[in-house]
Amino acid sequence: MNTHEKRTSNKINIAYIGGGSRQWARKIMSDLIIEESISGEVRLYDIDTKAAKKNEVIGNMFNNLPGAKTTWHYKAVHTLKDALEGANFVIISITPGTIEKDMYSDVHTPECYGIYQAVGDTVGPGGYIRALRTIPMYIEIANAIKDYAPDAWVINYTNPMTLCVRTLYQVFPQIKAFGCCHEVFGTQELLMTALNEELNLGLTDRSQIKVNVSGINHFTWIDEAFYKDIDLIPIYTQFANKYYDHGLIKEEHRGDPFKNAHKVKFDLFRRYGVIAAAGDRHLIEFVPQWYLKNESDQEKWIYWLTKVERRINSLRNKNQETNDIIAGKKELTISPSGEEGVQQIKSILGLKSFVSNVNLPNAGQIPWLPKGAVVETNAVFKSGSVKPVQTGNLPLNVQNLVLQHAINQEALIHAFFNQDKQGIMNIFANEPMVKRLSIEESTELFNIMIDNTKAYLPEWLLH
Q: Under the phi-then-psi rule, with left for phi > 0, alpha for psi from -120 to 50, and beta for the rest, what region is 327?
A: alpha
Query: Of these residues, 4, 78, 108, 182, which one is catalytic?
Result: 182
Nearest-angstrom CA–CA distance, 283 and 272: 14
Nearest-angstrom CA–CA distance, 249 and 260: 7
Nearest-angstrom CA–CA distance, 281 and 291: 10
Q: What is the 3 state secondary structure string of 36-82?
A: CCEEEEEEEECCCHHHHHHHHHHHHHHHHCCCCCCCEEEEEECCHHH
> How many residues does the structure list for the chain?
463
Helical (H) or strand (E) element with 443: helix 439-452
Question: Over the range 48-58, which residues count as b (16 or more CB within 10 Å of their CB) and which as e?
Answer: eeebbbbbbeb
Nearest-angstrom CA–CA distance, 398 and 44: 41
Query: Does residue 78 have an active-site annotation?
Result: no
User: Residue 380: what are its φ and ψ, rounded to 5°?
Assistant: -95, 120
Nearest to 363 by CA among 379, 344, 349: 379
Q: Is 14 exposed, middle or buried (0-12, 13-18, 19+ CB in 10 A)?
A: buried
The radius of gyration of the chain from alpha carbons, rounded to an integer in Å, stands at 22
Give yes or no for a contact between 49 and 82, defined as CB atoms under 8 angstroms apart: no
Q: Which residues have a catalytic role annotated?
A: 182
